């Protein structure tokens, strides 16, 4: 997935790589083919979080990455940030300056701790 491509361009490219027709894909994700076509051509903004998640699932992609491409943040993350604004802001700003590998290590460690392992 290229960060330079728009949401619509990326969705179309991924759909075409999987050889899924527009009508069939639109039906899978619960959208009209006309609306989806306009989204893919960047004539319309990306759809709701629920629809973006359905698109990600149908394309076998990570929903957080596709949501970010759509200019959105998952509502569960927004809820977490709103419950712990100071701590999450401090954590995210500090983690932002770390190398990718270190961020991944921290994420895995946090997952282990939240599961009680």
Q: How far apart are CA 63 and CA 67, in angstroms?
A: 6
State the pLDDT at residue 3.
55
State the pLDDT at residue 5.
85
Q: Answer yes or no: are the C-beta atoms of 66 and 52 closer than 8 Å.
A: yes
DSSP conformation class of 14: H
State the pLDDT at residue 4.
67
Q: How far apart are CA 7 and CA 29, in angstroms?
A: 15
Give this prediction's pTM.
Answer: 0.84
Low-confidence ranges of the chain (pLDDT < 70): 1-4, 117
State the pLDDT at residue 83.
96
């Amino acid at each position: 997935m290229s960060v330079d491509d728009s949401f619509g361009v990326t969705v179309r490219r991924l759909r075409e790589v999987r050889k899924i027709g527009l009508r069939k894909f639109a039906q899978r994700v619960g959208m009209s083919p006309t609306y989806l076509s306009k989204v893919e051509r960047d004539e319309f903004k990306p759809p709701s979080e629920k629809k973006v998640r359905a698109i990600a699932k149908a394309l076998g992609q990570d929903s957080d990455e596709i949501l970010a491409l759509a200019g959105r943040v998952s509502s569960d993350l927004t809820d977490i940030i709103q419950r712990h604004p100071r701590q999450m802001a401090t954590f995210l700003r500090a983690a932002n300056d770390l190398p990718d590998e270190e961020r991944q290590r921290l994420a895995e460690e946090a997952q282990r701790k939240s599961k009680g392992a």
